Structures are given as C-alpha cells and as structure tokens.
C-alpha cells in the first residue's frame, strides 16, 4: 500500500535527481539578462521557495549572496548542506519574517503556483512587498492555465538502474488546477522502496497576477514568455514577471 506525503517532504532527498535535467545556470543567466534591462541591484537578495538551493548556487558563483526561504524543513536541510555559507529560513511566501531589507526578491520554477487560493497569492505579494526596500524589485515566474493544461497531456517517466519516477497529471479546467501524482521507486539492496506525493498547482492568468500585484503595491515593469524576451500571448505556458515596489 503506498503512502502519501506532504509535498517536498519524503521526496526531498531525491529532488535533485528529479531535477537533474533542469539547467539552473541557464535559468539564472536569463534572470540576470532580464534584470540588466531594468538596472536591478541584486544585493541584498531573497530567494523565496529556494528548495534545495539549486537556484542560489549560480548567483553565488557570480559573487551574489542571498538568503533562502522555503516552507519545507526537509528541503532546507539539504540546501544548508549544499551551501553552508548562506543563511536559510523556514517560512512561507505569505508570511516572510523580514521588513524592508532586500533590493531584490526572486521566486522561480512556478513555485507560487502551489498557492491555490487567489487571496493567499495576494497575501504572498503583500508579504514580499514588505520585505523589499523602497524601489526594490520582485522577479518570479508562474505557469498559466494553458501551461498547466499542456502539462496534463503527458505523463512523465524517468529512470535509471536504481531510481524510477512517474508523474501522472490530471487537470481541472473549471478550477484551473493541476494534480500531479508523483510515484518514486528507489532501489534498496534487492528491494524497491515506494514513495508517493500529490502536488497541486493552480494556473493564474496574466491579468489576475497583474491585478494582484498592483493591489499589493507593485508596479509591473514587464512580462515575458519565460526564457525569452518576447511578448506574452494566449499560448504562453509560463510567464516571467518583473515588478518594482511603487
């Protein structure tokens, strides 16, 4: 009988294997290129939903230090082992324990899509706004409803001789939510251990996100098809938002 776990708890020790195809160096280079368009200052910097710290390492290699925040203690423990010289804090995006401290906050890899209630998303925007210095910036990406529906059209399987992962996806068009059913099989000697988690994301339209940002004190400087510098359209799967405290 499989056991379901809270997202990013039991899978934390396997997260980096699951994400081994993600080019974090290229992702951060993209953010640096976009930031250059708006003359954004990177320090001090806050990495919200930092996970196991993969997004912090490329910045650190360029001399940019950050503070990492995540709601999963299990993920933060791995991040601290990976990047012991940087500080980490256990907190949600809706309740950040800082006040007017950072020039820049980032959140990447559709982490904010895990906030399923629109009012809670605005709480997160408001909390981020309070962490930033006057004229501070917030850069983040989010999946659109179209993007989540596209993900749901394909299950994902990844395997090697000691590890198998299967993502099965189910999209609810009325609620704009995607249930991602993750099953891991990890080889332990001659046996295989099974771990199951359910991950849920909600897709938000560009208009919904921009309205929430403006209500919580942000000016939207630009929106882009993620990993490009082109304009968002109805077929955009993931949007990068560049914002500034008004």
Amino acid 5: pLDDT: 56
- Global confidence as pTM: 0.95
Regions of the chain short of the pLDDT cut 70: 1-5
pLDDT number for residue 1 = 34
pLDDT given for residue 119 in this prediction: 98
pLDDT of residue 43: 94
Q: What's the Rg (C-alpha) of the chain?
A: 18
Check residue 9 and give its pLDDT: 87
The fold adopted by the segment(s) 21-144+204-245 is Rossmann fold (3.40.50)
- Residue 50's region, left for phi above 0, alpha for psi from -120 to 50, else beta, is alpha
178, two tokens: 């995607």
pLDDT at residue number 10: 86
28 half-sphere exposure, CB direction, 13 A CA radius: 17
What is the predicted pLDDT for the residue at 140? Answer: 98
The residues spanned by each domain of the chain are 21-144+204-245
Nearest to 44 by CA among 128, 136, 130: 136
Strand 4-5 to 191-202 pairing: parallel
Residue-level pLDDT at 22: 93
pLDDT number for residue 151:
95
């Amino acid at each position: 009988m499989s056991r379901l776990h809270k997202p990013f708890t039991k899978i934390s020790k396997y997260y980096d294997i699951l994400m081994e195809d993600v080019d974090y160096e290229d992702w951060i280079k993209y953010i640096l290129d976009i930031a250059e368009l708006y003359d954004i200052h990177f320090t001090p910097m806050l990495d919200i939903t930092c996970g196991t710290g993969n997004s912090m390492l490329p910045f650190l290699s360029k001399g940019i230090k950050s503070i990492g925040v995540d709601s999963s203690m299990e993920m933060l423990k791995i991040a601290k082992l990976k990047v012991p010289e940087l500080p980490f804090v256990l907190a949600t995006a809706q309740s950040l324990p800082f006040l007017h401290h950072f020039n820049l906050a980032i959140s990447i890899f559709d982490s904010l899509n895990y906030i399923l209630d629109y009012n809670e998303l605005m709480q997160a925007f408001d909390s981020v706004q309070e962490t930033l210095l006057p004229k501070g910036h917030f850069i983040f990406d989010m999946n659109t409803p179209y993007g989540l529906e596209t993900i749901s059209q394909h299950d994902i399987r990844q395997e090697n001789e000691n590890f198998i992962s299967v993502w099965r996806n189910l999209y609810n068009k009325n609620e704009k939510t995607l249930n991602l059913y993750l099953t891991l099989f990890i080889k332990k000697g001659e046996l295989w251990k099974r771990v199951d988690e359910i991950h849920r994301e909600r897709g938000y339209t560009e208009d919904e996100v921009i309205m929430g940002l403006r209500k919580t004190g942000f000016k939207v400087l630009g929106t882009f098809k993620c990993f490009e510098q082109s304009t968002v359209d109805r077929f955009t799967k993931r949007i990068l938002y560049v914002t500034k405290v008004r």
